[in-house]
Chains A and B, each alone.
Chain A
């Protein structure tokens, strides 16, 4: 099944993933695949099941059925979040979940946790290895903070950052885990036009560094202008998956979003 020598061009492949909450079918029979190095968009109306999908991918929820392959490893059934993080899936949260009373720097340093190894002994003795590791963690975290564009003092508590900064701090924290797939849950929510533009730059640069990006967004223009491919969820079902140009004029998508009237102008440019 797993052929480690030959890397699949698909980084992530879901087949038949389903999740119910009591009587509500939040996801049903979702199959999709994300290629290495692409920016993949996930859109859909409120309650469509986008976040639920993220929660399954990151091990916070357990799928009722189905499985997914990530980086040539298969996952099905019960899977712990830290195992998936270790495998290379990192995420941000729709309603920001930073470590509010820790500093910006510490938040990112926590992200290094799973790529480092000092334990109690290292902490107590502060031997050469532990010191070197700690130093590397700090350097790495600093670099990431400036990479995402947080130029406040790094000792600022996360809860005292501005909204846009908190969103970017979450991205920095996720990047600190050295992910292969970065899953962002509505990163542009609440941002103004300039911030959104900067975010776009940042995502492109992240992709350029070889990280695959999975993006949930409500801002359709944003997503269609940025993603290589897009999937549309509605009531827990995948109703479309294609390149942005096709998604834009897909009748099912237009119905899901707007009732029956097609209002999205077909020519709304990618470049706009």
Chain B
């Protein structure tokens, strides 16, 4: 019996390895297939999807693990993006290398997170929600208006001609030939973003199952009990908030380098809500759920963009609702329906699964 189990588990291990290698191959080959099947535009969409996944995972630490509602998360993305844009473009005439500005942007976002979180996090949760909401709006006001009397952000026009991401002489902005394969710029960014996404997933997984992760969840479940058990709730919450902000800043830097252009328009409340929706829809606090939610919500608007116009033409003879507002409407409805009827999100959470396993174990005893 025991041998059989052992055999089974080693088989399971080998199975896991095979699955892992297959997954790696699929992920590596994905841009080529996508380009072949749907065209290069979709590889670009995939790149954005990866950025959104990073954002959603970052927000998941704040909302999903620690249970803090951050409604201005995109502001940290903006901080990272503008940091990159200012230090790597003709705007200020600075062209610092990628490996300096990316961490700098993440750090700056983290700093903003701490500055914002320190006064707010000792209070009840709702204050954080409204302060972050305000912060999101404020950042945009500053970005829009810091073009006079000294032109820093270039106002509503935004900053363009941002340096591409470059490792030494190797610029991700150009097409490269490697090993007989042609790698266009979008493919190269895909691999870079994939690397960072996997890194963020790794960090999230490790944190989730650690002393700190447990403290976050305890605070989410019952803050009073958590502090009575000796958790310094303010510091631990601040840690979650700062981590989330850091990931946001990181994604922002990558976004600026990829897009080559940033403007305040990309950092509105709607974006914050989209990312929140990704986290909530898939399942707060559950990495698989967040991945699912982000992918769904990146693909869905694309489908809407291509599908809703013609469909409305067919049904009503004209476009009644533009896809953008339809998207936000659906996001709003999704937030409501998920919270009312499926608060754990679309993907059953880890804990639930762990418990099922435990029940099976018990049945076998």
**A adjacent to B, CB under 8 Å:** yes
Q: Which residues of A contact B (CB under 8 A)?
A: 58-60, 80-82, 85-86, 90-91, 93, 97-103, 106, 109-114, 116, 118-120, 122-124, 126, 130, 133-134, 137, 152-157, 160, 173-174, 177
B222→A173 contact, CB < 8 A? no
B221→A123 contact, CB < 8 A? no
Interface stretch, picked from B143-151, B208-216, B305-313, B332-340, is: B208-216
Smallest beta-carbon distance A10→chain B, Å: 23
Known: A102-B221, A133-B211. 11 other contacts (CB 8 A): A82-B230, A90-B228, A93-B225, A103-B354, A103-B355, A113-B215, A114-B230, A118-B211, A119-B212, A153-B359, A156-B359
CA gap between A98 and B221 in the complex, in Å: 8
B358→A153 contact, CB < 8 A? yes
Q: What would 25 A/B residue contacts be, using CB atoms closer than 8 Å?
A: A60-B228, A82-B231, A82-B233, A85-B227, A90-B229, A97-B224, A98-B221, A99-B226, A100-B222, A102-B218, A102-B351, A106-B214, A110-B218, A110-B226, A113-B231, A114-B230, A120-B239, A120-B243, A123-B207, A130-B210, A153-B358, A153-B362, A155-B357, A173-B229, A174-B229
Residues of chain B with a CB closer than 8 A to A110's CB: 214-215, 218, 226, 229, 231
Closest A residue to B210 by CB, please name it.
A123
Closest A residue to B285 by CB, please name it.
A101
Residues of chain B with a CB closer than 8 A to A124's CB: 203, 206-207
Residues of chain A with a CB closer than 8 A to B295's CB: none
CA gap between A122 and B358 in the complex, in Å: 27
CA gap between A97 and B225 in the complex, in Å: 6
**Interchain Cβ contacts within 8 Å, total number:** 123
Cross-chain contact of B230 among A86, A106, A122 (Cβ < 8 A): A86
Cross-chain contact of A177 among B210, B230, B351, B361 (Cβ < 8 A): B230
CA gap between A100 and B239 in the complex, in Å: 23
A101→B351 contact, CB < 8 A? yes
Interface class of chain B by DSSP: helix
Interface centre among B212, B215, B228, B355 (most CB of A within 10 A): B228
Q: Does B232 contact A (CB under 8 A)?
A: yes
A91→B228 contact, CB < 8 A? yes
A137→B211 contact, CB < 8 A? yes
Residues of chain B with a CB closer than 8 A to A118's CB: 210-212
Closest A residue to B354 by CB, please name it.
A155
Cross-chain contact of B228 among A58, A102, A134, A160 (Cβ < 8 A): A58
Residues of chain A with a CB closer than 8 A to B211's CB: 112-113, 116, 118-119, 122-123, 133-134, 137
Size class of B's contact patch?
20 to 34
B232→A109 contact, CB < 8 A? no
A98→B222 contact, CB < 8 A? yes
CA gap between A113 and B362 in the complex, in Å: 28
CA gap between A60 and B223 in the complex, in Å: 11
CA gap between A133 and B217 in the complex, in Å: 19
Residues of chain B with a CB closer than 8 A to A112's CB: 211
B226→A155 contact, CB < 8 A? no
Cross-chain contact of B217 among A59, A60, A102, A111 (Cβ < 8 A): A102
Residues of chain B with a CB closer than 8 A to A91's CB: 228
Residues of chain B with a CB closer than 8 A to A133's CB: 211
A100→B221 contact, CB < 8 A? yes
Closest A residue to B361 by CB, please name it.
A153
Residues of chain A with a CB closer than 8 A to B358's CB: 103, 153-156
A81→B227 contact, CB < 8 A? yes
CA gap between A224 and B355 in the complex, in Å: 40
CA gap between A91 and B218 in the complex, in Å: 16
